[in-house]
Amino acid sequence: MLERFVVALLGFYLGFSTFFSFVVAPILFSVLDKSLAGEVVAKIFPLYFGSATALLGLAAILTLKGGYKKVAYLLLVGTLTAAFQEFYILPLVEELKTAKAEVFKVWHGISMLLNVVDIFIATFGVFYLIKEPRSGSD
């Protein structure tokens, strides 16, 4: 039962994160002026990364409780990555956006990479829990 709930949590995260990252954001940047699209996305990011932190964190706690230590630690890495983006990268990027465009691009790229890493971590968690459902330790 625990495995199914965690799979649902991770599935929800995967759904909104992939939809936002690979559908919504690219469409916004293709139909709106670049600066306006950036403003819209900047308003969404705190909720996006906050939700990622909460969902991955809850999934990490539950998988640890269920005895899936390796998956729990991997999800903890995802949680910390999302929190790092929310509390460090977002404020930094906001400062750099207008002042230092080249440094902004570097941090934006790092953020995009970390976002994809979180998506892969969650995907691994889903497949692992579907393939190896059991209670006990791994």
pLDDT tens track, the chain, 138 positions? 888 999 999 999 999 999 999 999 999 999 999 889 999 999 999 999 999 999 999 999 999 999 999 999 999 999 999 999 999 999 998 888 877 778 888 999 999 999 999 999 999 999 999 987 565 555
Long-range contacts, 33-40 (Cβ 8 Å, 24+): 38/97
Long-range contacts, 84-93 (Cβ 8 Å, 24+): 84/114, 85/49, 85/52, 85/111, 85/114, 85/115, 86/45, 86/46, 86/49, 86/50, 86/52, 86/53, 89/114, 90/42, 90/45, 90/46, 90/49
The pLDDT of residue 99: 78
* pTM of the complete model beyond 0.75: yes
The pLDDT of residue 5: 95
The Cα 28–Cα 25 span in angstroms is 5
Q: Residues 6 or more apart from 15 whose CB is under 8 A from it? A: none
The pLDDT of residue 101: 79
The pLDDT of residue 31: 96
